[in-house]
Amino acid sequence: MTELNGTVSPTFEPVRDAVEDQLRSGAEVGVSLAVDIDGQKVVDLWGGHRDAARTRPWQRDTITNVWSITKTVTSLAALLLVDAGELDVYAPVARYWPEFAANGKRHVEVRHLLSHTSGVSGLDHPARLEDLYDVRAAATRMASQNPWWEPGTASGYHVLNYGHLVGELVYRLTGLPLRDFVQEHIARPLGADFRIGLGDADIERVADVIAPALDFDPSTLDHDTAAYRTFTGPSFSAGAANTPAWRAADLGAANGHGNALAIAEILAPIARAGASAHGRFLKPDTIGLIFDEQSNGTDLVNGLHLRWGIGYALPDRRTLSWIPDGRIAFWGGWGGSMAIIDLDRHMTISYVMNRMGPDILGSQRAAAYTTAIYRALGVGDLC
């Protein structure tokens, strides 16, 4: 039997059972799951294998590409600058990045970048994935573009360029590339084993992502839509995450590497009203900005019904019925990984795995674990 390691507090034994069920069935290959409540790791599990052939065990320090969970960390970077009084989410982006005002974008505000409502959700054609690896040059191109819809009127998921847009603000304000800012001001102070992009020293412990059986084909989309322009600006496949070029890049939208424990350590201060083991990390008023709803409707790019706050999605039972209502912020990574920040319960849930499912957001596995966690706390009415 595939080994599952780690600890759970007695109340959460059903969560261990749920993970073991998924490993036993073969649905999971390698997995890590963490739950933090008020600074206590009530669930800290890892197990399975790093490879599809199931020959290399998933260790405690195994890390993998977490796809769009990276955006939750990039959003936190922006909130830290807000907290320091250096960034105003209601100010025009052009206050900090003058070139962004070009072609009708002078009224686009920082909050629009953070809520995927800016109208700039990718690169104009021609666009190759390699173009995104030159972060400054790609950001310059984005600044010069026309918006693809009226900014602020709807969300259009910023699939691969979220880190370029938010990261450019970080760079303009601090002089640091996003990856360096995250390392110096988030991961290192919180003791989290997380980085955007990888160094050579980390490669040996990385679990490759295992792509879903059917990769997404954007050519099937209506070519006149924001969805088509986004998914072809540029096109990419899941296998790109296993390449050296992807791993070396500074992609604050999608190439963060870590495990569930690392993500929980980074996001838990939000759930705990800004408190961390090392002192106050964020002011409560800054955290409150997350819940300023920016859009509520069908996303123009991914087609999901979403409620976006500032930097994070907010509960919407029409899309994910297994996340309860309340002061909860969340987002997930392509293939099923999830990060859920529950302020009502001072709880952070983080799930990271290597075998991707076909889902855009969440998965049956993520639903099973999340439901087991909430049921252990006495929260019912989840499917």
Q: How far apart are CA 280 and CA 245, in angstroms?
A: 36
The DSSP secondary-structure symbol of 80 reads: H
**Residue 213 confidence (pLDDT):** 79
Cα→Cα distances 373→22, 25, 241, Å: 15, 20, 30
**Six token digits for residue 84:** 């320091």
Residue 29 in contact with residue 52, Cβ under 8 Å? Answer: yes
Structural domains in the chain, CATH included, are: 4-376 (3.40.710.10)
Concatenating the DSSP letter of every residue in 105-164 gives TTT-BHHHHHTT-SS--SPPSS--HHHHHSHHHHHHHHHHSPPSS-TTSS----TTTHHH
Q: How far apart are CA 168 and CA 74, in angstroms?
A: 11
**Residue 244 confidence (pLDDT):** 97
What is the separation of C-alpha 258 from the centre of its chain, rounded to a whole number of angstroms?
11
Q: What are phi and psi for residue 212, nearest 5 degrees?
A: -65, 160
Task: Average pLDDT across each block of 10 residues of the chain; the chain has 383 residues. List them in order.
Answer: 89 98 97 97 98 97 98 98 98 98 97 98 97 98 98 98 98 98 97 95 96 81 94 96 97 98 98 87 97 98 97 96 97 97 98 95 97 94 69
Q: How far apart are CA 259 and CA 265, in angstroms?
A: 10
**Residue 383 confidence (pLDDT):** 61
**Six token digits for residue 130:** 């390699």
Cα→Cα distances 178→170, 254, 283, Å: 6, 13, 22
The enclosing H or E element of 48 equals: strand 40-48
The enclosing H or E element of 169 equals: helix 162-174
Q: How far apart are CA 122 and CA 226, in angstroms?
A: 9
